[in-house]
Chain A
Amino acid sequence: MAYVAIADRDHEADHHDPTTFITKYIWSQDHKVIAIQYGITALFVGMVALILSGMMRLQLGFPDEFSFITPIDYYQFITMHGMIMVIFLLTALFLGGFGNYLIPLMIGSRDMVFPYMNMVSFWVYLVSVIVLLASFFVPGGPTGAGWTLYPPQAILPGTPGTDWGIVLMLGSLALFIVAFTMGGLNYVTTILQARARGMTMMRLPLSLWGIFMATILGLLAFPALFVSAVMMTLDKVAGTSFFMPAVMSMGQNLDHEGGSPILFQHLFWFFGHPEVYIVALPAFGLVSDLLSTHARKAIFGYRMMVWAILAIGGLSFVVWAHHMYVSGMNPYFGFFFATTTLIIAVPTAIKVYNWVLTLWRGDIHLTVPMLFAIGFIFTFTHGGLTGIFLGNVVVDLPLSDTYFVVAHFHMVMGVSPILVVFGSIYHWYPKITGRMFNETLGKWHFWLTFFGTYAIYLPMHYLGFLGVPRRYFAMGNTEFMPESAHTLNSAITISALFVGVVQLLFLYNIIVSLWKGKKAGPNPWKATTLEWQTPDTPPKHGNWGHELPEVHRWAYDYSVPGYHDDFIPQNVPADAAPATSDDGSST
């Protein structure tokens, strides 16, 4: 029996429209609702992590001023801030949020291929978040082992939260991985099998290429975190010695013997480095579409952009040990991993050049999404360049435990993806809600966030050069730290608190605009991709009304010579581009 593609048997499909409030908005199998559920949950935990970072900065900028922040609290804040931001905010928001919303709409399908599993994915994610946050309320509080959870300290007394916190953390991660796997299988299968007629792989918008490759990385790399979480749980709960060496703790010899903490580090970073690209690749993809749309110009080097995504994905599995230079390793290994790390800069640099060349002689509209996209090019280049420093073993060794590293990874995988998150939320807000946000507030949000984050992280590079160590609760009266370093630390704290407060502008804007924003119309940015061509805005269940769209061109037909409009949507036939169209919708 020959297989018939999903797009070709759409007429036989039975579209069960949800009828009750519960099936529509809570136990929903609609990818758009699930995307919003993912998005709201992720932004909520992100706010928690933001508040935690503010508390950490208070302590660092003004040590001894705040008696309610103890060293124990500080390490718990660090750990939870890192883990939430990397996994529960960024991974969940890019793949569960944007992936869910954009994949079916951009490929012209009615939903994911496994809607039920998609729904379960969100609910398991929610449970993982609840388990994680529950650790704030158990005896001993959350774990303070640092987001890397290195054994043996992660499960030994002396580290905060070794009774309950660490177990909840590991359990929460395992649940998250289950949720992600269910979602990820959906994203991959949907992109491969549910594309509309004419939507070849090479006509996919780059957003989807980024999400697609990131999902593949996630599916293959998250098992490494799962393995390490399971084995560490057994070390903690059952008393095995996978990672635990013979240790004397609090004057007592423990039963563990012979385990290898380095083994944990290998497993952890085997997940941990691809994780950087699980966050970065969707950001690369989304920002490419923002730049192209708002510069009214085809993305420069589309094929090269796709191959760069593939190359980065492949290489990301062979660079993990550059996180472990200070753990000690054979110099030949160090050389190997330094080389692969530097090689990965090549496809990444190709992407940066292509973004800049997309802007070159484009018809740049400095809309809010565009500002965030351009801001991303700055912060990402900045963070990427310091990565080249740290990729070299000899440079990494002295800098590894200093604020230089904090500055590096916050620029490259903190600020940069977050700018893309903001840009993308502003960009797709009119489609998701049907209303425009407040442009002025959005611009204030951008400029204050952009300069504010530079005020935080640029000085941190200098602190790193001075040798100011990261992870310390308080610096004390250390001789090598001049008075100016303390002043700088206070200034950083003030900037950080300021940037944190500025995010209220964003929240206010997206919430109030739900009611107060003016109607957006179907395609306010005059974009070409399919999600802007839906019959309804916001799209209804099933997305496309009676007929699925057919795709006749790629996603980047902007400013095509000889046409009246400066964009041609993907579903416009090759020989029938509209002569005029004023409302932005296609004919």
Chain B
Amino acid sequence: MTLTLVFLGIIMATIIAWLVRQTVNTQPWDAADPVENQPGRGIINIDPKKLGLYSFIAVITSLFALFASAYLMRMKLGDWRPLPEPNLLWLNSAVLVLASFAFQLARNAVARGQLLTVKTGLLAGGVCTLLFLVGQLVAWQQLDAGGYFITGNPANSFFYLLTALHGLHLIGGMWVWGRTTMRVLTGADVESVRLSVELCTVYWHYLLLVWIGLFGLLLST
């Protein structure tokens, strides 16, 4: 559980430090009129949807950290036999990096109002993600053909479970991607999809980080 505690410690420390900063040096009992147009102290200077996404990312971080903790704890028990990760995973990782890169391209373009690049970036990002997902399925098949079944060993079980979970999060993202791309393709104005593109980019970068973490964990053990 050390890993989880470190992650959660960082998250909780950030939240609590921020809240304490909001609360010290104030005399709440003093009445004062609000400064014109000044929202309440502590409003974070980003769109609520972004804040919602960041909070959701904290939740997923907690989820994956807990899975990683369980992985490390289960690994210490005697029956753990590491499985050989298919080399295909390297290719898949590269494709996912490309997807992230494409989303970044779309994001940069959306800020500059370049519709064509936004379209290209989104389509390329989506295609790369689909390729990644297909690649993961092929990797599963290779393992299955090699006799590494889900019930064979806890290392196998964790491999299937963690990759599936990561894939499901990507598929969830693909839903938002699909809606955004449809809007762009059917002629929506760049400014109206700006936020969606930004949110997708953050989410894809984050899931790339998660994948690097998971892949590192799988490789090193």
B184 at interface, CB cutoff 8 A: no
The answer to whether A220 and B8 have CB atoms under 8 Å apart is yes
Could you tell me if A574 and B59 are in contact, using CB atoms closer than 8 angstroms? no
Q: Does B5 belong to the interface (CB within 8 Å)?
A: yes
Cα(A275)–Cα(B48), bound, Å:
27
Is B176 positioned at the interface, with any CB of A under 8 Å from its CB?
A: no
A6 cross-chain contacts in B, Cβ below 8 A: 39, 48
Asked if B40 and A196 make an inter-chain contact with CB atoms under 8 angstroms apart, the answer reads yes
B46 near A3: Cβ-Cβ < 8 Å: yes
Contacting A202 at CB < 8 Å: which of B23, B67, B74, B80?
Answer: B23
Taking the closest CB of chain A, its distance from the CB of B159, in whole angstroms, is: 11
Q: Are A259 and B70 also in contact (CB < 8 A) when A193-B44, A203-B28 are? A: no
Supposing A234-B157, A241-B151, A551-B34 touch, asked if A197 and B8 sit within 8 A by C-beta, the answer is no
A271 — nearest CB in chain B belongs to which residue?
Answer: B66
Residues of the A chain whose Cβ atoms lie less than 8 Å from the Cβ of B13: 314
Given contacts A3-B46, A201-B23, contact A313 B67 (CB under 8 A): no
Q: Which chain A residue has the least Cβ–Cβ distance from B22?
A: A201
- On whether the beta carbons of B33 and A552 are closer than 8 Å, the reply is yes
A133 at the interface (CB under 8 A from B): no
B31 on the interface (CB 8 Å rule)? yes
Instruction: Collect the chain B residues with CB atoms within 8 Å of residue A154's CB.
Output: none
Instruction: Kindly state the separation between the CA atoms of A198 and B35 in the bound complex, as whole angstroms.
Output: 8
Q: Which of A1-30 contact B (CB under 8 A)?
A: 2-3, 5-8
Q: Does A219 contact B (CB under 8 A)?
A: yes
Alpha-carbon separation in the docked complex, A551 to B56 (Å): 30
Q: Find out whether the CB atom of B78 lies under 8 angstroms from the CB atom of A220.
A: no
Given A240-B150, A241-B157, check contact A313 B46 (CB 8 Å). no
Q: Which residue of B lies closest to A217 (CB)?
A: B12
Q: Which A residues are in CB contact (< 8 Å) with B56?
A: 181, 185
Chain A residue contacts of B16, Cβ below 8 A: 310, 313-314
A192 touching B23, Cβ below 8 Å: no
Contact status A188-B55, CB under 8 Å: yes
Q: When chains A and B are docked, how far (Å) is the Cα of A303 from the Cα of B161?
A: 45
- State whether the Cβ of A318 lies closer than 8 Å to any Cβ in chain B: yes
Using a CB-CB cutoff of 8 Å, which residues 190-218 of chain A contact chain B? 190, 192-203, 216
A229 CB to nearest B CB, Å:
12
CB contact between B26 and one of A200, A242, A270, A573 (< 8 Å): that residue: A200
Within 8 A of B (CB), among A308-350: 310, 313-314, 317-318
A439 within 8 A of B: no
Whether B33 contacts A266 by the Cβ 8 Å rule is no
Closest to A212 in B: B19
A303 vs B26: C-alpha distance in the bound complex, in angstroms?
9
Asked if B38 and A554 sit within 8 Å, CB to CB, the answer is: no
Can you name the residue of chain B whose Cβ is closest to the Cβ of A573? B33
Establish whether residues A267 and B70, one from each chain, have CB atoms under 8 Å apart when the complex forms.
yes
> How far, in whole Å, are A298 and B29 apart by their CA atoms in the complex?
9
Inter-chain contact B40/A197, CB cutoff 8 Å: yes
Complex contacts, B38 vs chain A, CB 8 Å: 197-198
How far is the CB of B176 from the nearest CB of chain A, in Å?
A: 13
CA distance A551 to B55 in the complex (A): 27
Smallest CB separation, A576 vs chain B (Å): 9
Closest chain-A Cβ to B6's Cβ sits at a distance in Å of 12
In-complex Cβ contact of A255 among B47, B52, B55, B151 (8 A): B151
* Closest A residue, CB atoms, query B191: A1
Answer yes or no: A295 CB below 8 A from chain B CBs: no
Q: A181: which B residues are within 8 A, CB to CB?
A: 56, 59
Contact indicator A317/B40 (Cβ below 8 Å): no
Q: How far is the CB of A365 from chain B (nearest CB, A)?
A: 22
> CB distance B74 to A552 under 8 Å?
no
Q: For B12, what are the chain A residues with a Cβ–Cβ distance below 8 Å?
A: 220, 313-314, 317
Asked if B116 is at the interface of the complex by the 8 Å CB criterion, the answer is no
Any B CB within 8 A of the CB of A276 = no
A113 beta carbon closer than 8 Å to chain B: yes
Query: Shortest distance in angstroms between B172's beta carbon and chain A's nearest beta carbon?
Result: 11
The interface residues of chain B lying within 8 Å CB-to-CB of A64 are none
**Bound Cα distance A310, B14 (Å):** 12
Q: CA separation between A574 and B43, bound complex, in Å?
A: 22
B1 touches A220 (CB 8 A): no
CB of B186 within 8 A of chain A? no
CA distance A552 to B38 in the complex (A): 12
**Chain A residues, Cβ within 8 Å of B150:** 234, 238, 240
Cβ–Cβ < 8 Å partners of B120 in chain A: none
Decide yes or no: A197 and B59 within 8 Å by CB, A202-B28, A574-B32 being known contacts: no
In the complex, are the beta carbons of B151 and A227 less than 8 A apart?
no
Q: Is the CB of B161 within 8 A of A192?
A: no
B58 within 8 A of A: yes
Min CB distance B158 to A, Å, is: 8
Contact (Cβ within 8 A) A227 B44: no
Beta-carbon contacts of A216-228 to B below 8 Å, as 1s and 0s?
Answer: 1001110110110
Q: Do A224 and B66 touch (CB < 8 A)? A: yes
Q: Is B126 engaged at the interface, CB distance under 8 Å to the other chain?
A: no
Chain A residues positioned under 8 Å from B30 (CB to CB): 553
B15 at the interface (CB under 8 A from A): yes
Q: In the complex, what residue of chain B is closest to A554 when comparing beta carbons?
A: B28
* Contact across chains for B151 and A240 when beta carbons are under 8 A apart: yes
Query: Within 8 Å of chain B (Cβ to Cβ): is A62?
Result: no
Which of chain A's residues 541-574 have a Cβ closer than 8 Å to chain B? Answer: 550-554, 556-557, 568, 573-574
Known contacts: A113-B48, A193-B44. The answer to whether A231 contacts B161 by CB under 8 A is yes
Residues from 489 to 516 in A contacting B, C-beta threshold 8 Å:
none
B94 to chain A, nearest CB (A): 29
The verdict on A168 contacting chain B, using a C-beta distance below 8 Å, is no
A residues within 8 A CB of B26? 200, 202, 303
- 0/1 string, B196-211, CB within 8 A of A gives 1: 0000000000000000
Smallest Cβ-Cβ distance to B111: which chain A residue: A1
Q: Give 1 or 0 for each of B58-80: 1 = CB within 8 Å of chain A CB.
A: 11101100110010011001111
Q: Are A195 and B29 in contact (CB under 8 A)?
A: no
Q: Quick check: B52 and A199 within 8 Å, CB to CB?
A: no
Choose from A189, A198, A226, A298 the contact partner of B34 (Cβ within 8 Å): A198
Q: Which residues of A are found within 8 Å of B19, using beta-carbon distances?
A: 201, 310
1/0 contact trace for A231-246 toward B, CB 8 Å?
1001000111110000
With a cutoff of 8 Å between Cβ atoms, the chain B residues found around residue A260 in the complex are 73-74, 77
Residues of B within 8 A of A557 (CB): 29, 31
B22 cross-chain contacts in A, Cβ below 8 A? 200-202
Q: Which residues of A contact B47 (CB under 8 A)?
A: 3
Q: What 17 additional pairs, Cβ within 8 angstroms, besides A202-B41, A203-B40, A263-B73?
A: A185-B55, A186-B52, A188-B55, A198-B40, A200-B22, A200-B26, A203-B28, A219-B59, A223-B62, A234-B157, A242-B70, A260-B73, A317-B9, A552-B31, A553-B30, A556-B29, A568-B31
B residues sitting closer than 8 Å to A (CB atoms) are 1, 4-5, 8-9, 11-13, 15-16, 19-20, 22-23, 26, 28-34, 37-49, 51-52, 55-56, 58-60, 62-63, 66-67, 70, 73-74, 77-80, 150-151, 154, 157, 161
Q: List 7 A-B contacts (CB under 8 A).
A: A6-B48, A194-B48, A198-B32, A199-B40, A241-B154, A317-B12, A553-B32
Closest 4 A/B residue pairs (Cβ) = A198-B34, A258-B79, A5-B39, A553-B31
